[in-house]
Structure 1
Amino acid sequence: MTDGPDQQRILDALSRARTQIEELKKPKDQRIAIIGMAGRFPGAENLDEFWNLLREGRSGVREVTEEELEAAGVPDRLREDPDYVRSYASFEEATAFDASFFGYSPREAEVLDPQHRVFLECAWHAMEDAGYDSQQTSDRIGVYAGTALNSYLVNLAQNENPSDPINRVQAVVGNVMGLMPTRVSYHLDLKGPSCGIQTGCSTSLVSLHEACRALLDDDCEIALSGGVTVSRAVPEGYLHEPGGIASPDGCCRAFDTKGKGTLFGNGVGVLVLKKFEDAVRDRDNIRAIILGTAVNNDGSDKVGLIAPSVSGQAEVIRSAYERASVSPSSVSYVEGHGTATEMGDPVEFRALDEVMGDELKRDGRVCTLGSVKSNVGHLDAAAGVAGVIKTVLAMENRALPPTLYFESANPQLGLEGSPFFVSSELQKWTSDPLPRRAGVSSFGMGGTNAHAILEEAPGRVSEDEDKKPRVFPLSAKTNAALLKGAENLVSHLESSSQALGDIAHTLQIGRRALPHRMALVAGSNKELVQQLQSHRASEVKGAPPVIFLFSGQGSQYSGMAAAMMQESELFRNLIHDCADLLEGQVNLKELLTNSELLLEDTSLVQPVLFALEYAMARMVMSWGVQPAAMLGHSLGEYVAACLSGVFTLPEALRLVAARGRAMQACEPGQMIAIRATSLETQKMLTGSLEIAATNSPDQTVVSGPQREIESLNECLKKEEIASQILATSHAFHSASMEPALREFERALREVDLKEPQLDLISNRTGTWLSAEQAMSVDYWLEHLRHAVRFTEGVSTLHEALPDACYLELGPGKILCRFVQS
């Protein structure tokens, strides 16, 4: 290789080519959507309470009582020390855990680090907020999170009962920081990467960065990120040391001239993330957008290991803006690290001003600076995610909460004359004309810095919602939890304008099915609230077997599929498939949707009914409902046989169309339903009358010539036996069908009949359809000619599957009434 200018030009060209290749490899859209959140913070057990605390300018820090100090074992001499600060920042019951919900015994739960317990519960709630149940999605879901320093293992060892020693392996697995995310992956059945992260105070924002990179690199389709700190499990204060980082009065006065230190507390927060373009495609509830994140370390450019660095912090903020591809002047709020320490706040402000100040001034814009630590203290490994959640809530509510205790700026900041200001009051957050954007900082003790650029979620176009009934399933591990869930849903319905369709969808596919359940059907907000308040719950030991029922001719009505054709894309596509196969024979779509057309011609009714029931079954099966057995009534058995694989869909449609034509060509006749057993009915028959179907133990159908049926009806009236002549054109399942057999036999012999792959009941025998019967042409001819033994079929099913749930797939619900009787 030549030396000098030529070599340098080659190296420069290679460098540019490498950069271009890397850019091409990057996803075009690098935005990440926040689609779910959950958290518990000092003074707030959920995010609604958290926002109220922030909006009202309240502190979650409280004073510890004498009784609590005594219970915590704080010595009298320490309590009486003037430097002892009686302030405590924590959510309620920091060590509590719903052990049985996750399958832990009390002893196992006792060994488990409280941080593991709390984060696991919070991850579950975050997934519910996002509307995802891992067992109902094929998406790979990753977990990126970390905990604070764990002293629980030391406490276990110090307080071990010699007569009941702790299992050492179990104790290590239950307390290692890096295993917390894997515990979540195990219990929630998440198949994506599961990575423990620990960078001190910046842990949860670094976790967010890593989760975003994993999504963009296609390591997973959904990611959970967050952090947890439970450093003081029981209420107690702390000893203030002059010159230390702890606040002398229990208040974190971020950016204020009186700021002398911070207050450490307990907290947990979890975010659910997804690529923005995927979240839009899947119609997820996007709560905010992450435009870009960055992480770095100070290196040695500072006075000591745990000291902050202006250059390090400025560089990570600058990198985040570069990745977000937005100008710093477009950001109108920064959620600062804001520890209120004498060195920390001035360094942080100088770094912000270095990156953002000139551009804000140039564009004549101002930026509000705040810190959630003034409300809840420093949450260590959960500090960053607390700041992100606060910022997202502020965007959703279009308001910037006040920073507590701020009166006058720390003079070392140089806030006066800068484009930054700290607000001590709740203020409206405008978006003129740019969308609301914010930066969130989190700087770790040790120099690992993180910064994220957030943008408000795009407005959703409101759609006029129909009032059609929807199913709203709820479930829980206990009846008490189920009733509480119902109460929570009522509260949500009374305070939210969320579309009922979205709520139903989330409850159906975004919630794990648990043993105690209730299912409600409602078409309006008011109706759903009323039903929830008069709820009935039942315990399900296991999913009951489901039996598919398919009705026969006589159940049809005009326009019977019009609504489903509009509402379900899958159903519509399945009908289109059937229509293509019947093209030139039957105008399927017109017959299914036109309410003006009468469906009376057997040659049309049979293929139309078959297509409707087949499409309904396939739609239900796509929802995860699989039949344990199937029973059809006359024509309905063809649907069951097709689903079972006896014939393919094209073969089934050819057969059903040929069957309908052959039967339509027979002599007209009539049918009558009689309130009597089959034995009682048989004694009444004369002439050519025949039993055509046994529908239930006390309902039998008779077929025959019109004159004989009318004569029988008169006799029944005299005997005061209930009866009804059916609206049919022919005497089906009787001798009058024999002329159709030859033509239908020709159609059958052109089909390759196969062994059934799913269990179904035979109408001919009332017992299970055998492979020999299903593959026999004679069986299907006898099926057309002879009686439908529906009652016997139901008895067979009840004996084999006594706890089954029957699902009728057809235009009506007559078969379910037969089953109930």
Structure 2
Amino acid sequence: MSLTSYSAVVRRLVVSPGPAQEQRAQIVASAAGVSAVLRAFGRPLDRLPVRTVVYIGAAALDPGLGPEHEGFTVRTALGPGGALRLAHRELQSGTTDFALVAGFGEPDTHTITVYAVKRAAEAVADADRVLGVLDGTGTDEDGTPSLRPLHHGHRATDPERHRLLLWSGRDTEDETRVRGELLPLLSGLHSEAFPALPTAVPCGTPPGPVRGAAVTVAALAAGTVHKATAVRAGRPRPVALLFPGQGSQHAGMARGLYRREPVFTAAVDAALSHMGDEGGRIREDWLTPGEPRVPIDDVRRAQPLLFAVDYALGRMVLGWGVRPAALLGHSAGELVAAVIAGIVSLPDAVGMMMTRVREAVKIPEGGMLAVAASEERLRPYLNADVAIAAVNAAQQVMLAGSAEPLAATAARLRADGLTVVTVPATSPFHSPAMAPASDAVEADYARVPLREPVLPLYSGYTGALMRPEEALSPRFWARQITDTVHFRAALEELLAIEDVLLVEAGPRQTLTAFARRHRAVRLGASAVTPLLPARRGTAEGDRQSVLNAAARIWTEGHDLDMDAVSRLWTWSDEEQPPAAAAPSTAAVLREPAPALPG
């Protein structure tokens, strides 16, 4: 079931704008009531999404209530049903990102029932608890839109799929005891029951500091658990997420997670849905074996699809209960980091990325080179058409420029004995050739609402922690098309603050390779783990790689949402069962259905 045409109710609360004894008559929708709605869920107003709209469903309106209150748009309808339908339509049209729907006089004359409503795919991607989904196509007899439980996928029980087994103990002796009790169970277990085993043992107790993990299939489970090395987890190093940019893409990247992991699937769908008709074509090229309509290295495919995959991987890790201490994106990956950091909404970030693509294709063809040399060593090879595009690590620099000048530079470099590798890119990003695109993009970005980051974001364009004034500057985001990426300096700054566990949320392990060259990682003070394989493989290989990353985070000492992690082997959307009949609105809202049921 695709969630992109549905809206989801994620919170429901009954509030009163004043003492009940003063509100016995039918409540009137007033400014005080709207203020109560905005604060119903205890969220600071500056942390509500920029395009939050309050939808009022009321029989009586205060004449003084205007179309805007405390900086937020206010829309009105005759009743809560009409307000829900209006919210659904505007969420799906993209004019609203977050809806607070207020039923004045519901359920009592002096109360307001407030519903928090989001696009359903984004609600699942954000790991919200969905109370019901609204499709706007049907109504109950009283005109209220039909809400029904969320059915996104179904339970999968394939014993040939890899799964994660976690166990722990209070000390080494206790871990040995727990493992000793687990091994006979695995040896005698029927393979069909293997996926249903608990993710972590012992069950019902907090995990201990001595931890073991195994990624395995049913037939190899006992041997894999027996050979696994237990680790004593001390104070876990914070997690920092890395988001790669163009050059890391490859055909079929992360395809093995789509429709086999719910948050990843919903997040990809959410991102692609904001690309209009092009999003459908991108998905088809991605999922269809064989030659795509547009090559994966073309900027029209590479950046949109890489954005969707990076974003979905980041959301999946957050859905495990991991809260990153820092973010760092490389080139286009910095825009994904900006979404996670709260600087820009997903729809706006997709729009910014698509604007980059639209303007980039107007620039004459160019490319990028990876050269095994220092920045200083390469300066004699630079000219007006060829520039340093990125400084990624010691002796790892990228050059970019228009096609013919770049080819001439590559020939000179090889003639001088330098190692040169062509980066999969068809546009000269991070070079002067992109200046016209940068100017056009800046004009478009001036209309995008930007906010200060709520998570530390290290910028590759300054090589330092992003400052609030940079995050709020359209020029800062626009010049990323032409400016050098100082990934090495940004990583240096991040790792100088504290030791961390770096997790690369993207394909090919490009940033993982750069991080492994850093002295803090080489010495073991910090560490890095990728989510995806280094090269294209099987669908099962994608899932196995993600499970290995989850195991690494667990043995580091971080606690995980076991239900969320287990969906990697217990969830599928590949064969959707028939949907159950939709219950009434009241039934759904008063008897919430669990999100992502098996």
TM-score when scaled to structure 1? 0.42
Deviation at residue 788 of structure 1 after TM alignment = 0.7
Compared CA separation, residues 667 and 629, structure 1 to 2 (3 A): same
From 380, 386, 393, the counterpart of 1:696: 393
CA distance in 1, matches of 2:159, 2:482: 45
Tell whether the 8 Å contact from 1:470 to 1:504 is kept in structure 2 after alignment: no
- 8 Å Cα contact 1:475/1:518 also seen in 2: yes
Q: What secondary structure, in the 3-state scheme, does the structure 2 residue paired with 1:666 have?
A: coil
List runs of 5+ in structure 1 lacking aligned partners: 1-460
Where does residue 731 of structure 1 map in the other structure? 428
1:682 aligns with 2:379: yes
Contact 1:558 1:595 in 2 (8 A): no
How far apart, CA to CA, are the structure 2 residues paired with 1:503 and 1:818? 38
Task: State the partner residue of 2:485.
Answer: 788
Aligned to 1:552: 245
Which residue does the alignment assign to 1:476? 169
TM-score (norm. length: structure 2): 0.57
* Structure 1 residues 507 and 619: CA distance shift in structure 2, 3 A: farther
1:810 matches 2:487: no
Q: Which moved more, 1:512-521 or 1:462-471?
A: 462-471
Mapped contact 1:691–1:703 kept (Cα < 8 A): yes
Name the counterpart of 2:206: 512
Matched to 2:284, the amino acid is: E
SS in structure 2 at match of 1:810:
coil
Percent sequence identity is 27
Per the alignment, do residues 724 and 508 of structure 1 end up closer, same or farther by CA in structure 2, a change over 3 Å counting? farther
**1:494 maps to which residue?**
187
Counterpart amino acid of residue 460 in structure 2: N
Contact 2:168-2:201 within 8 A present in 1 as well: no
1:462/1:776 Cα in 2 relative to 1: closer, same or farther (>3 Å)? closer
Note if contact 2:241-2:328 (Cα within 8 Å) is conserved in structure 1.
yes
Equivalent residue letter for 1:501:
P
Instruction: Decide whether the 8 Å contact of 2:240 with 2:325 is kept in 1.
Output: yes
Residue 599 (structure 1) aligned with residue 299 (structure 2) = no
How many residues are treated as equivalent by the alignment? 359
In 1, Cα distance between equivalents of 2:156 and 2:245:
38
Are 2:213 and 2:228, in contact at CA under 8 Å, matched by a contact in 1? no
Matches within 5 A, 1:694-773: 694-773=391-470
Taking a change above 3 Å as real, the CA distance of residues 611 and 463 of structure 1, as seen in their structure-2 partners, is closer
Q: CA deviation at 1:594?
A: 2.3
Give yes or no for contact 2:209–2:232 (8 Å, CA) kept in 1.
yes
Tell me the SS of whatever aligns to 2:391: strand
Given the superposition, is the C-alpha separation of residues 627 and 495 from structure 1 closer, same or farther in structure 2, using an over 3 Å criterion?
Answer: same
Q: Secondary structure at the match of 1:731?
A: coil
Query: How far apart, in 2, do the equivalents of 1:795 and 1:509 lie?
Result: 40
State the structure with bigger RCO (CA 8 A, min sep 6), 1 or 2. 2
Contact 1:696–1:818, Cα closer than 8 Å, also in 2:
yes
Q: Which moved more, 1:507-516 or 1:745-754?
A: 507-516
Question: By how many angstroms is 1:800 displaced?
Answer: 0.9
Give the AA of the match of 1:595.
P
Contact map agreement 1:472 1:508 (CA 8 A) in 2: no
Q: Find the partner of 1:572 among 258, 261, 265.
A: 265
CA-CA distance at 1:652 after TM superposition: 0.8
1:136-151 residue pairs with structure 2 within 5 A? none
Quote the Cα distance in structure 2 between the aligned partners of 1:742 and 1:813: 32
CA separation in 2, counterparts of 1:470 and 1:672? 39
Shift of 1:511: 6.0
| C-alpha contact (below 8 Å) 1:766/1:796 kept by paired residues | yes
Maintained 8 Å contact 2:366/2:427: yes
Offset at 1:678?
Answer: 1.8
- Residue 232 of structure 2 corresponds to 539
* Partner residue in 1 for 2:197: 503
Amino acid at match of 2:228: H
Equivalent-residue separation in structure 1 for 2:198 and 2:375 (angstroms): 45
1:467 partnered with 2:160: yes
Gap change, CA 1:814 and 1:462, over 3 Å in 2: closer
SS at match of 2:430: coil
The answer to whether residue 337 in structure 2 is matched with residue 640 in structure 1 is yes
- Distance (whole Å) between structure 1 residues aligned to residue 328 and residue 481 of structure 2: 16
1:625 to 312, 319, 322: 322
2:351 to 639, 654, 662: 654
Change (3 A) 1:603 1:539: same
Whole-angstrom CA distance in 1 between matches of 2:368 and 2:202: 42
Rounded to whole Å, the distance in 2 between the matches of 1:672 and 1:585 is 29
CA 1:510 to 1:554, structure 2 compared with 1: closer, same or farther past 3 Å? farther
Sort the Cα spacing of 1:485 and 1:692 in 2 relative to 1 into closer, same or farther, 3 A: same
Residue aligned with 1:586, SS: helix
Q: Return closer, same or farther for 1:487/1:677 CA change in 2, 3 Å cut-off.
A: farther
Identify if the C-alpha distance between structure 1 residues 764 and 677 changes in structure 2 by more than 3 Å, giving closer, same or farther: same
CA distance in 2, matches of 1:529, 1:681: 54
Tell me if the contact between 1:471 and 1:504 (Cα under 8 Å) persists in the aligned partners.
no
Structure 1 residue 491: Cα displacement: 1.8
Distance 1:507 1:549 in 2: 31
Secondary structure at 1:679 match in 2: helix
Indicate the residue corresponding to 2:14 in structure 1: none
Distance 1:637 1:511, change over 3 A: farther
**Contact 2:299/2:425 (CA < 8 Å) preserved in 1?**
no
Is it true that 1:589 corresponds to 2:286 in the alignment?
Answer: no
Q: 1:466 to 1:654 in 2, by over 3 A?
A: farther
4+ long deviations beyond 4 Å: 461-464, 506-511
Shift of 1:677: 1.9
The 1-side partners of 2:389 and 2:277 are apart by 32
Mapped partners of 1:488, 1:626: distance in 2: 32
CA contact under 8 A between 1:561 and 1:593: conserved in structure 2? Answer: no
Deviations 1:559-604 (A, max 9, x none): 3343222212222222232233222333243244223323233133
Equivalents in 1 of 2:190, 2:435: separation in Å? 62
Letter in 1 for 2:214: L
Alignment of 1:398-413 (within 5 A): none
Aligned to 1:45: none
Partner deviation per Cα, 1:277-298 (whole Å, 9 max, x = no partner): xxxxxxxxxxxxxxxxxxxxxx
Q: Please give the alpha-carbon distance, in whole angstroms, between the structure 2 residues aligned to 1:706 and 1:577.
A: 35
1:4-83 alignment runs, 5 A limit? none
Are the counterparts in 1 of residues 384 and 432 from structure 2 also a CA contact under 8 Å? no
Contact 2:165 2:200 in 1 (8 A): no
* Shift, 1:497, TM fit: 1.6
Q: 1:522 aligns with which of 216, 221, 228?
A: 216
Shift of 1:466: 5.4
Listed as ranges, the matches of 1:360-375 within 5 Å are none
Match of 1:347 in 2: none
CA contact (8 A) 2:458 2:465 kept: yes
**Counterpart in the other structure of 2:4:** none
| Partner Cα distance (1:602, 1:543) in 2 | 39
1:616 aligns with one of 309, 313, 316: 313
Residue 507 (structure 1) shift = 5.1
Distance 1:689 1:665 in 2: 18
| Equivalent residues of 2:157, 2:196 under 8 A apart | no
Distance 1:489 1:546, change over 3 A: same
Quick check: 2:213–2:225 contact (8 Å CA) kept in 1?
Answer: no
Q: Is the 8 A contact 1:603 1:659 kept in 2?
A: no
8 A Cα contact 1:586 1:604, kept in partner: no
Alignment gaps of 5+ in structure 2: 1-153, 518-598
Q: Deviations over 1:52-85 (max 9, x none)?
A: xxxxxxxxxxxxxxxxxxxxxxxxxxxxxxxxxx
